[in-house]
Structure formats: C-alpha cells, structure tokens
C-alpha cells in the first residue's frame, strides 16, 4: 500500500502553463525540491483515499521516485529523526564558539545580553587554548571550527588574533580542515584587521546585522554617533579586493514594527552602495526573545510571514543575493546545542551548550563547566541534546509539521521556554509556492 508523504505541501492555487495545462506548485520538504504538479494529480494527492487509482501510472512512478509517495509501512517521522541522530553521531568537526569579550559597543533595545567590560585573559585564555589543542590532538576529528561571537567579538580583537595564530598552523600540521566565521556588528572592522582576520585567522565568513535604513536608531552606538555608513562603505570596499577571494558576508536585518516598511528603500540603497555582489547575501529575520520580554518589538508570526515576503521581493528587485524562496537543504543538526562536540566558551572561561545562555540574565547556572577545570574531550551534556527524542515523543508540534526535515525544529531552547520559534516558511509556504509558480512563467487562469 502507498501513502502520500506527510512532507509534501501542495498549493491550492491553480496556474496554467504556456501549453494551457492546469498545474499547482508543490514542495517536498524531505528533498527541499519544488514541483509543478498537474491539477488532477494534485487533487488526487490531496484526497488521499484511493489516490493511486486516480493518478496515471507513469506519474505515480515519478512521484514514488521523488519520495512524494511512499510505502505506508514507512514511519517518515522516525526516518527523519533517525537521520538527524546519525548526522550528529557521525559529525567529525569539533566546534568552538568563542566569546573573546563580554562587552559590546552597541546598545540595541532588543538584545537580551547584559554586557560587562570583561575580556578573555590569564588562566581562562590559556585553558581555552589548551582545550582546543587537546581536541585537535585527540585524533577524534577531521575538522575544527572556531566561530567568534559576542558581545562584540572585535572588542576582543587581540584575543582572536593571538588564539587563531596558535590554532591555525596546528590544525594544518595535524591534517584537520579549518573553518572560522564571525558574528559581528561590523563597527570596528577596518582594512588592517580584516587582513589579519582573513589571512592569519582564516575568518572567511562574517555575519553582520544592518537593521534597515533606521539602523542607527535601532542599533545605536553606546558612545554615540552613527555606524551604518561606515560599515557599508567598508564592506563595499572589502568585497572588491581580489586578495579576499573566499570572503563571504551575510547581512541580516532584524525586522520589527519599527523598520518593517523599509525593505525596498534599504535594498535599493545597498545595491547602489555596491553590495549587490557575489560575496554578499542578505536575509531578514524577526526579532526574537533571548528569554527577555520583547513583546513590544515583535511582529506576530503570521504578520512576519507576510513581511518576509516583502523583504525577499525587495532583495530580488534590487538585484541582491538572498536565500531561495524555500529551504533547499535538510537540516539534520539544528544547532550546536545538539552535540557535545560543540560548545560556547565565554570570556570568563565558562562552557555553555547553547549560544543564547551566556551573558543572558537568568541563565548563569546553565554553564556545563569551565575551561580551567574541564577534562579535555567533549563538553558535558547540556539541556538540549535529546531534542530529536523530544520531537519523537510528540512533546512539540514539530512532530506533525510538514517542514520538519528542512527546519529541524529551529530552536529547542525557544520551545522549552514556550516561544515557538517556527520560521516564516511555516506561515507563508503557500504564498511562496505561488510566488515560485509566478516567477517561472505560470499564470493564474
């Protein structure tokens, strides 16, 4: 017996091809692929009962090959969760997210961190380096990732430079691949730092937040003054330097009621300023809670679904690179909190399992250890390594969600705190399918 995959979503909107065939767009989340399905087949699949008899045999064969129709003996949810568990177990990259300082030079109203002027030093710094070297030399891994995070990591630039200069050559000597990225507000980035970060520290991917044309109001410098112009000028220069061939920059915009209407103007300005470049991509994200109350700054989930479509359209209209309409890749490891081979280390040497626990008031007791006392090896378990089992138990609606394979459940911490973290695609998938059909030349009758 056959059944329709629970991960197949078919739009209810009819479109017509150039040849006059009635079709509907569809998305299969197990593969991340989009299709146009003829209307009769779409209606048969939606009806489910006896659908095999209503579909042409050759079309049914194609649907089986694609994974849209499967044997009804298959427990698709368990297959997905087991693949996730296996990806975690087989991951041979050791990841360190390092906070070289707990200070930040910006004072964004939505930030849930409490910043203090503390920098990684002394026994905490030597313990951190010892821990990374120990893991490189353990022989358990094929790759190492050093991801710089904050506070504002560039406030601890000297630490980044000095730590990376010890780790990069060692990883090479031991035959491990090396990856490094940085989440930064970009304010302090200059040509000299970028050169060292790129060439010596091998940081090739930067995520920088620019909050629309109101950026300077929404992300004010604590010392006063503006930063948007400076950041954009610098990035525009940097992506044109041939010596930074592998440099990639992701520009995130946190969207709130204050800047939701700025998509077109912001995207046009970024393009005019030279950021419509292969090395740069843009995405919008809703403001989210770190455990703090951001209700006044939040757009509702459904409202954000519509707003995201406006931002995607604006990026496209301006010729900026932006994400595909729908996720095209499986998300088997949803975040670092899934695996004990990944950890966050703060400027006071504390080790956490999740990036949104350190510096966040109320989460002080969630550290799983300190570099000065932890044995070399994987970190102790945190709160969220059993996430796939939690989904399996049906404790969260991810168990019945049509986009689980590409979402992975988004954020176990948010779920545990009663803030469903569903991405916009959960709410605007049908509109995205219709956008896909329209942009591929299919017309509404």
Q: Which residues bind ligand SF4 (CB under 6 A)?
A: 335-337, 354-356, 384, 397-398, 401, 403-404, 407, 409-414, 421-423, 426
Q: Do the beta carbons of residue 159 and residue 152 sit within 8 Å? A: no
Phi/psi at 49 (5° precision): -65, 120
Minimum Å distance from CB 428 to ligand SF4? 11
The DSSP-derived string for 130-166 is HHHHHHHTTS--SEEEEEE-SS-GGGGHHHHHHHHHH
Token couple for 110: 């939505």
Residue indicated by tokens 């620019």: 210
Kindly tell me which of 127 and 423 has the beta carbon lying closer to ligand SF4.
423
Q: Give the Å distances, CA to CA, from 93 to 29, 170, 240, 337, 344.
A: 26, 15, 31, 14, 15
Minimum Å distance from CB 64 to ligand SF4? 25
Kindly tell me which of 189 and 404 has the beta carbon lying closer to ligand SF4.
404
Burial of 391: CB neighbours in 10 Å, binned 0-12, 13-18, 19+: buried
Minimum Å distance from CB 84 to ligand SF4? 11
Minimum Å distance from CB 404 to ligand SF4? 4
Minimum Å distance from CB 373 to ligand SF4? 23
Q: Do the beta carbons of residue 345 and residue 98 sit within 8 Å? A: yes
Let me know how many helices (H) and strands (E) the chain has, helices first.
15, 15
Cα–Cα dist 229/437, whole Å: 38
Minimum Å distance from CB 356 to ligand SF4? 4
Cα–Cα dist 179/92, whole Å: 13
Kindly tell me which of 212 and 327 has the beta carbon lying closer to ligand SF4.
327
Kindly tell me which of 205 and 269 has the beta carbon lying closer to ligand SF4.
205
Minimum Å distance from CB 401 to ligand SF4? 3
Kindly tell me which of 217 and 383 has the beta carbon lying closer to ligand SF4.
383
CA dihedral 181, 187, 192, 198 (to 10 degrees): 10
Kindly tell me which of 159 and 425 has the beta carbon lying closer to ligand SF4.
425
Kindly tell me which of 156 and 358 has the beta carbon lying closer to ligand SF4.
358
DSSP 410: S
Kindly tell me which of 259 and 410 has the beta carbon lying closer to ligand SF4.
410
Token couple for 155: 């406030």
Minimum Å distance from CB 216 to ligand SF4? 27
Kindly tell me which of 232 and 309 has the beta carbon lying closer to ligand SF4.
309
Strands 177-184 and 203-209: parallel
Kindly tell me the sign of the dihedral angle through the C-alpha atoms of 116, 289, 435, 55: positive
Instruction: State the greatest distance between any 2 C-alpha atoms of the chain, in Å, as a whole number.
Output: 72
Burial of 129: CB neighbours in 10 Å, binned 0-12, 13-18, 19+: middle
* Residue 183 three-state SS: strand
Minimum Å distance from CB 426 to ligand SF4? 4
């Amino acid at each position: 017996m056959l059944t329709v995959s629970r991960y197949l979503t078919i739009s209810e909107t009819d479109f017509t091809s150039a040849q006059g065939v009635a079709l509907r767009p569809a998305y299969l989340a197990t593969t991340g692929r989009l299709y146009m399905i003829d209307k009769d087949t779409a209606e048969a699949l939606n009806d489910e009962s006896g659908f095999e008899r209503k579909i042409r045999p050759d079309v049914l064969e194609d649907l089986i090959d694609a994974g849209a129709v499967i044997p009804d003996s298959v427990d698709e949810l368990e297959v997905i969760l087991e693949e996730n568990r296996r990806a975690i177990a087989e991951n041979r990259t050791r990841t360190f997210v390092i906070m070289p300082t707990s200070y930040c030079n910006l004072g964004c109203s939505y930030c849930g961190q409490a910043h203090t002027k503390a920098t990684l030093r002394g026994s905490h710094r030597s313990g951190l380096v010892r821990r990374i070297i120990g893991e490189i030399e353990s022989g358990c891994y094929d790759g190492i990732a050093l991801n710089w995070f904050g506070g504002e990591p560039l406030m601890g630039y000297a630490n980044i430079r000095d730590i990376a200069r010890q780790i990069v050559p060692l990883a090479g000597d031991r035959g491990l691949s090396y990856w490094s990225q940085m989440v930064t507000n970009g304010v302090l980035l200059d040509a000299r730092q970028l050169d060292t970060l790129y060439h010596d520290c091998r940081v090739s991917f930067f995520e920088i937040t620019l909050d629309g044309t109101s950026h300077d109001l929404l992300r004010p410098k604590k010392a006063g003054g503006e930063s948007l112009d400076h950041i954009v000028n610098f990035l525009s220069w940097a992506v044109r330097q041939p010596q930074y061939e592998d440099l990639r920059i992701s520009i995130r915009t946190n969207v709130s009621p204050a800047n939701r209407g700025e998509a077109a103007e912001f995207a046009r300005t970024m393009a005019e300023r030279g950021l419509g470049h292969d090395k740069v991509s843009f995405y919008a994200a809703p403001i989210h809670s770190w455990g703090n109350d951001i209700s006044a700054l939040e757009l509702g989930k459904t409202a954000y679904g519509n707003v995201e479509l406006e931002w995607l359209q604006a990026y496209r209209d301006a010729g900026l690179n932006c994400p595909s309409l729908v996720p095209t890749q499986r998300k088997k490891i949803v975040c670092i909190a899934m695996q004990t081979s990944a950890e966050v280390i703060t400027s006071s040497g504390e080790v956490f399992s999740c990036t949104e626990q350190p510096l966040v008031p109320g989460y002080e007791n969630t550290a799983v250890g300190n570099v000065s006392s932890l044995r070399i090896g994987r970190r102790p378990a945190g709160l969220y390594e059993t996430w796939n089992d939690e989904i399996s138990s049906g404790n969260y609606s991810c168990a019945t969600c049509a986009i689980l394979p590409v979402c992975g459940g988004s954020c176990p911490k948010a779920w545990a705190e009663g803030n469903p973290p569903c991405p916009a695609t959960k709410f605007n998938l049908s509109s995205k399918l219709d956008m896909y059909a329209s942009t591929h030349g299919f017309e509404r009758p």
